[in-house]
Structure 1
Amino acid sequence: MPNIQWQKSSYSAANNECVEVRAVDGAVELRESDDGHVILRTTPAALADLLQGVKAGDFDHHA
């Protein structure tokens, strides 16, 4: 696998605790910057669906 650079949000905390993302072989990989050996791999469509759901409040659960 090529050494593809991880990208992080410009909104990341100064202490570098953030989620990083990169595209590899048609997939999207995500990791936490402070636990870089754990990588979640998904499709661009699945990530887009997740982000749309987050923005729409689909995962907001109020007791």
Structure 2
Amino acid sequence: MPDAIWQKSSYSAANNECVEVRADAEAVELRESDAPGLVLKADPSVFADLLRTIKAGELDHHA
């Protein structure tokens, strides 16, 4: 996926501290802009499940 472009979160601060994501049919990759060498890779269906869980507030008790 080296040709895929990293996209910044719409919640990013102006100081460039943000989460970035890129995806293709086989994987979704996430990284923190201030640590670009550390990349989390997930299957697209697993990432979609994570997003649904977060949006439903099912992880709020960990905050």
What TM-score does the superposition give when structure 2 sets the normalisation length? 0.84
Provide the aligned C-alpha RMSD in A: 1.7
Deviation at 1:25, TM superposition (A): 5.8
CA distance in 2, matches of 1:2, 1:44: 17
Deviation at 1:9, TM superposition (A): 2.1
Q: Label 1:61 to 1:2 Cα distance change in 2 as closer, same or farther (>3 A).
A: closer
Matches within 5 A, 1:1-63: 2-24=2-24, 26-61=26-61
Deviation at 1:13, TM superposition (A): 0.5
Structure 1 gaps of 5+ residues are none
Q: How many residues align?
A: 62
Instruction: Give the structure with higher Rg (CA).
Output: 1
% identity of equivalent residues = 65
SS for the counterpart of 1:45 is: helix
Deviation at 1:2, TM superposition (A): 3.3
Deviation at 1:10, TM superposition (A): 2.8
Structure 2 gaps of 5+ residues are none
What TM-score does the superposition give when structure 1 sets the normalisation length? 0.84
